[in-house]
Chain A
Amino acid sequence: DVKVTQSSRYLVKRTGEKVFLECVQDMDHENMFWYRQDPGLGLRLIYFSYDVKMKEKGDIPEGYSVSREKKERFSLILESASTNQTSMYLCASSSHLAGGTTDTQYFGPGTRLTVL
């Protein structure tokens, strides 16, 4: 079975801190994604990556950056955390299919981040 793990289930940080959220997948997937989930807004894509050192902005990239130095690991960075970044963060991975189509995405358990 595909396993996607996230570094923390719960995280509390202070405004202005630099925050790292890490995601690791063990299925050699090319694609990795970071979403945030807020009540009433569903899942919104922050960044995604199709390959090592490749990254593309999603729908809400402002205030975030990402790093993918190894195929299995995709990190989300909040350069200077703010209270409006309090949210549930979900990482996912999937195989790469030809023609720009998507395959099943496998999700990690999520990190609930609170910024005080």
Chain B
Amino acid sequence: SQQGEEDPQALSIQEGENATMNCSYKTSINNLQWYRQNSGRGLVHLILIRSNEREKHSGRLRVTLDTSKKSSSLLITASRAADTASYFCATDPYTGKLIFGQGTTLQVKP
């Protein structure tokens, strides 16, 4: 089935640096969502971007969506140790269900 694919699978940066994660998908979507998961916990919604939007901001988060390339990116600016987590993109292909990617594991070193 269609699936978002995140890149890279793992990312390690120093505190204060920016982190960029990418997501690609295969079919038309209604919206794309990003979630965060701290180790062993449930997922927390970060941001939803609709197919007619190109960019969205929330605090230190910036999400872009390029529907022509079927891709999205999540930028976390001025990262903190507390940002250490796994990040998932999820696409809504007009089915009423979300399709989750396998995630990017981000480690932010103090």
Q: Which residues of A contact B101 (CB under 8 A)?
A: 42
Rank and list the top 6 A-B pairs by shortest CB-CB distance, nearest first: A107-B42, A42-B102, A43-B100, A102-B92, A107-B43, A101-B30
Task: Report Cα–Cα, A106/B96, bound state, in Å.
Answer: 15
B25: interface (CB < 8 Å): no
Interface residues contributed by chain A, number (CB under 8 Å): 29
Q: Which residues of B contact A103 (CB under 8 A)?
A: 48
**Judging by beta carbons under 8 Å apart, are B102 and A110 in contact?**
no
Task: Report Cα–Cα, A31/B94, bound state, in Å.
Answer: 15
Interface residues of chain A, those whose CB is within 8 Å of chain B, are 4, 31, 33, 35, 40-43, 45, 48, 50, 58-59, 88, 90, 92, 99-110, 112
Task: Report Cα–Cα, A4/B45, bound state, in Å.
Answer: 13
Q: Which residues of A contact B43 (CB under 8 A)?
A: 43, 90, 92, 105, 107
Return 16 A-B CB contacts under 8 Å, by A number. A33-B97, A35-B100, A42-B3, A42-B103, A88-B40, A100-B95, A101-B92, A102-B31, A102-B92, A102-B97, A103-B48, A104-B33, A107-B43, A107-B44, A110-B40, A110-B42
